[in-house]
Amino acid sequence: VAFSPDGKRVVSGSYDQLVKIWDADKFFQDRPAAEVEAGKKAPAKKNEVCTPLVTGHSKQVTSIAFSPDGKHVVSGSNDNLVKIWDADKGSEVHTLTGHSHFVRRVTFSDDGSHVISASDDRTVRICNVASGKETHVFEASEFEFTEPKRTTTQHLLTASEDVLLIAERLPHKGPQTDAAAMP
């Protein structure tokens, strides 16, 4: 799950292959605090708002994130796909097909112009949100990357068991990326 930047919506992805956007205020309204904290499934209330996005994943959703402006959602799945969604309309914007194994982590660049994904195929991929085109691929020899972290608008930090990947001058309206891998 992930909260929108304004905290008014929550996006969820799960084993049922669905990505849903919830109205946070209505979801938590009239629920006992203990029930929410314990994660118990409560009966649906008429005032709850849940917008299921177009079903696009064929396997469980493993990672989900809102863009910094709250206009887009990105999802990663065990179907090897990364999907970018319009958070207001609930429609799919792009399907990114570059990964050859489970997608474990997804996030947005600080300015929301790029999606960053990490996969069990030992790659981190950066794609342009507007065009859906892949702009950079980074590889490691070990299995799984940590969640990509944006340290600034221009830097990305992620690690696997044998590599610390630091990408400098991330795509921000066009500059080329340089990468340094340190064992």
With tokens 């630091």, the residue in question is 166
With tokens 């946070």, the residue in question is 24
The whole-number pLDDT of residue 120 equals: 87
Centre a 10 Å sphere on the Cβ of residue 173 and count the other Cβ atoms it contains. Answer: 6
The whole-number pLDDT of residue 91 equals: 86
Rounded Cα distance, 16 and 40, in Å: 18
The whole-number pLDDT of residue 16 equals: 85
Centre a 10 Å sphere on the Cβ of residue 134 and count the other Cβ atoms it contains. Answer: 16
The whole-number pLDDT of residue 179 equals: 40
Centre a 10 Å sphere on the Cβ of residue 118 and count the other Cβ atoms it contains. Answer: 28
Mean pLDDT for each 10-residue chunk of the chain (183 residues)?
A: 90 85 74 50 50 74 94 94 91 93 90 89 90 88 54 54 52 40 32
- Please give the model's pTM, rounded to 2 decimal places: 0.73
Contact by Cβ (8 Å): 119, 101: yes
The whole-number pLDDT of residue 141 equals: 61
The whole-number pLDDT of residue 43 equals: 47
Contact by Cβ (8 Å): 74, 67: yes
